Amino acid sequence: IDATDARLADSFDVRRFEAVANQLVANGRIPGLAMAIVKDGRILSARGYGVTDARNPQPVDAHTVFRLASLSKSFAGTVTGMLVNDGVLRWDSHLTDYVPEFRLSLPNAAQQVTVADVLSHRVGLTHNAFDRDLEGNADYHTLTMKLANAPMKCAPGECYAYQNVAFSLIGDVVFATTGQFFSETVARRIFKPLGMHDASYGLEGIEASARWARPHVRGGGGWVPLTPKPTYYRVAPAAGVNASISDMAQYLIAHGGHRTDVLPEPLLATLHTSVVETPGELRGGAWRRERLNTAGYGLGWRVYDYAGHRVVFHGGAVQGYRALMALMPDRDLGIVVLWNS
């Protein structure tokens, strides 16, 4: 073991993480969980804990599929970056060149929005525009039309406000560029070459999985399994991916710079660089308040100064599922945690 590995071993013990995961399940804090830890391009741990379904308990394993919710945004940024790398798209390409019907309420604002603005939540809208309508079962196309009358927070490119509907316009750009549906392009360019064999998009995708974790809510003194809601699957680029922890370990390895045949280093550097500050996050949950020094958003990824370390991160939450993914480039370390409550 070289000195760096020895220092890491002193401060980082995979067994401690696995013990915490086991305890969360044993204490009934969550029904089931899957976790992957990757160091120096090698998988240190990728396994399941607890059960897929509190009513019909099957053990969670490395191939149990979970909803990724907003972790899906990193896949949208990644596949767009691959198209930029191919020379068929630019980060400063205008959205209206690919989605000519796109409109915003400020005069000429729609024509200013770039591909990078969409992926970094700088369209200029107020935060989470039309998420409530989405939750009320409105369809995606109808909501993109409603953006024409939505209130604006700033001119495009000038401020950050998190989006799901507007973010998903990147799917229309990918379709216009490739002639393939967004989900097909991600499968062809990311899932297949990285060996993400359990990964899919949409409600049909998760329900067709050989083994998948049901979402749960608290009720009647325990965990109650639900049927997954189709709602956020309607915005596939923002929240449509399903994957197992085996899949996500491969994705971590690639984003850690160890699959340059698929994701070259210069592309990763671009995706993982903050382009807009997100100071509101510094007032978020306890770990953010205690340890975040700066917070920003890149192209489908959050970028933090976390206790003096650069951390590339994204979280995700839809009814009955939670997910988080973090990379610490200076330690060549990555972790993904997926759970079903």
pLDDT in tens, 266-296: 999 999 999 999 999 998 888 889 999 999 9
Q: What is the mean pLDDT of residues 107-119?
A: 98
Above 90 in pLDDT, residue 254? yes
Tell which wins on pLDDT, 6 or 168. Answer: 168
Task: Report pLDDT for 8.
Answer: 52
pTM of the full structure: 0.96
pLDDT at 1: 40
CA–CA dist 34, 18 (Å, integer): 10
The predicted pLDDT at position 221 comes to: 85
Sheet holding 241-244, edge to edge: 65-67, 241-244, 200-201
37 phi, psi to nearest 5 deg: -125, 130
pLDDT for res 10 = 53
User: In this predicted model, what pLDDT tens digit does every residue of 164-217 receive, in sequence order?
Assistant: 999 999 999 999 999 999 999 999 999 999 999 999 999 999 999 999 999 999
CATH code given to domain 3-71+181-339: 3.40.710.10
Mean pLDDT of 311-318: 98
- How far, in Å, are 84, 107, 155, 274 from residue 278 at the CA level? 25, 26, 17, 9
- Tell me: the pLDDT tens digits for 8-60? 555 679 999 999 999 999 999 999 999 999 999 999 999 999 999 999 999 99
- Tell me if 20 sits within 8 A of 4, measured CB to CB: no
- Residue bearing the bigger pLDDT, 129 or 3: 129
Domain chopping of the chain, boundaries: 3-71+181-339, 79-178
Evaluate if residue 7 carries a pLDDT over 90: no
Which pLDDT belongs to residue 284? 84
Coil/strand/helix, residue 220: coil
What integer pLDDT is reported at residue 11 of this predicted model? 62
DSSP states along 298-332 = -SSSEEEEETTEEEEEEEEEETTEEEEEEEEGGGT
Q: Which residue has the tokens 């009358």?
A: 149
Mean pLDDT of the chain: 96
Q: What is the pLDDT of residues 92-103, one digit of tens each?
A: 999 999 999 999
**Residue among 280, 330, 276, 322 nearest 306 (CA):** 330
Give the pLDDT confidence of 114-161 residue by residue, as tens digits. Answer: 999 999 999 999 999 999 999 999 999 999 999 999 999 999 999 999
- 257 has a pLDDT exceeding 70: yes
